[in-house]
Structure 1
């Protein structure tokens, strides 16, 4: 049952990208399964049990956005969306439906492999040799980092990988201003482009899940011109 190689499901319909990605990832010691349309991507996801998915936004038969939504209903496998460099709307929508990261075409293989390894390092399934019982509890929010679980007012709340990592970083530094650059570097890694849009989308999604009223957040506050802060003082009231 143990897989010795990282399996990457590549959902892409442009043959030139398929060839380059397959060759590049194979050289990095990864196994590549290729789907050329959205429906095939879902079929392969069920059959090959990939460690990470590289998902193009524009796919025949079923879009990458719809594929991401379907997979996120049952799995937290890391998903990296692939989008055209000018398609900011596709990028935001992809993040909102649960993608962990995105990469814009044209991309360099070095950047792509770095992104893949970064999301794999942060995946709960990657930690198999270290048992860490670590619970972060502030007010009604309980974050179990060992089990990758969140409870808000005793109710379980499902979080995609990046949202979990973001919340863990903020809760581990209560009342401390975390700059945007610091958060991006810690959660997405040094190879991620300095795109604050990615962070803002994840903050919005996170607030919708932990805040009593997301329109007037009391847990995650915005520090204008700097970044974000997890408010501790209000949690004990």
Structure 2
């Protein structure tokens, strides 16, 4: 059983007040989640769960079917299984990242630690190990979407300059001083935001994981290390020799550049 039985056992009944509120806001476009999973039972259970929570759901059993979905719509998040027939999840993740910063939550098996690390290197924003419960799945999905959402209209602008870059935390944009935009995934931007708001301060992996993912850190979680590696490479390419992120032995990571507000 790849998903905990609670997905089937829990009724997920909404209080009448929530049902009324949901009906009143049906005109608001729903967030769309694409499930790429070859197991029809898992696909159905996860899809039903997400629909009950108010999400619009698209389903695909492999990379070919996923491309068909992309041809007609762009989802807000992809739940991508690692083991797929034909093109596997790692290849699909790499292919998506080559053209889009779309958030990706990768599903993996407990025995696939190396593949999980590779998945993060390929650009996945987070991973979830099978078997998993509905609450954990929803928490991961909402955390990724929350981190990737744009600023509210009334939110004050937070723009900062460092090295040769300007970052807008509300618009979630990173540009060089010459105006060239730097493409970052959701996870990479969250990590940069964490560093920019805490410059010249050693941050442990647990602190970074908690601040960026909003959950307790797993001592074996490699998410932070992979995100740091990816972000470091992109900053180094855009600003050669800057060495903006240092590794502190037995400590964590240090953002070395001074950071100042930009009007």
TM over 0.5: yes
User: Structure 1 residue 158 and structure 2 residue 183: aligned?
Assistant: yes
Tell me, yes or no, if the aligned pair for 1:115 and 1:191 is still in contact at 8 Å.
Answer: no
User: Structure 1 residue 48 and structure 2 residue 65: aligned?
Assistant: no
Q: Distance in 2 between matches of 1:85 and 1:193?
A: 14
Deviations 1:29-69 (Å, cap 9, x if unpaired)? 22221101111112213323211110011112322122222
Higher alpha-carbon Rg: 2
Structure 1 stretch displaced more, 155-164 or 145-154: 145-154
Choose the corresponding residue for 2:209, options 170, 184, 189. Answer: 184
Q: Distance in 2 between matches of 1:212 and 1:26?
A: 41
Tell me, yes or no, if the aligned pair for 1:175 and 1:230 is still in contact at 8 Å.
Answer: yes
Deviation at 1:152, TM superposition (A): 4.2
Tell me, yes or no, if the aligned pair for 1:114 and 1:191 is still in contact at 8 Å.
Answer: no
User: Structure 1 residue 10 and structure 2 residue 62: aligned?
Assistant: no
Tell me, yes or no, if the aligned pair for 2:77 and 2:102 is still in contact at 8 Å.
Answer: yes
Structure 1 stretch displaced more, 28-37 or 61-70: 61-70
Give the alignment of 1:13-162 within 5 angstroms.
Answer: 13-125=38-150, 127-152=151-176, 154=178, 155-162=180-187
The runs of 5 or more residues in structure 1 that have no matched partner are none
Report what 1:208 is aligned to: 233
Report 1 or 2 for greater relative contact order, CA contacts < 8 Å, sequence distance ≥ 6. 2
Size of the aligned set, in residue pairs, is 233
The runs of 5 or more residues in structure 2 that have no matched partner are 1-26
Q: Distance in 2 between matches of 1:213 and 1:41?
A: 32
Residue 5 and residue 130 in structure 1: after superposition, are their counterparts in 2 closer, same or farther (change >3 A)?
same
